[in-house]
Amino acid sequence: NAGYDVAADLAYEPTPPAARAADRAATPSPVPTVAFAEHPQLGFIAATDDQLDSERAGRVLHERGWLHQETLDIYVLPQPDGRGPAL
């Protein structure tokens, strides 16, 4: 209802595999507004899509404690906070 698109690895989706396969065949894959990953040195990171509403997505990430690394154009979690509060 908030207007956000979310894409996740299949392992993290709560929908049963058969329903996922039927749903994915019926609809094209959306381009996520924000993508999350775990980096070996930086921990959890997020990147926004430059073509979509990246300013809004970046603002939401920042409000939740993510820090923008301008040189890499990604968002990272502050190390002391851990991933729980921001995720």
pLDDT tens readout for residues 65-77: 899 999 998 999 8
pLDDT tens per residue across span 22-36: 665 556 656 667 888
C-alpha to C-alpha distance for 34 and 41, rounded to whole angstroms: 20
CA distance 27 to 37: 24
Instruction: State if pTM tops 0.75.
Output: no
Q: Phi, psi (5° rounding) for residue 21?
A: -65, -45
Percent of the chain with pLDDT over 70: 49
Structure confidence at residue 4 as a pLDDT band (50, 70, 90)? low
Confidence band for 21, pLDDT divided at 50, 70 and 90 = low
Give the domain ranges of the chain.
10-81
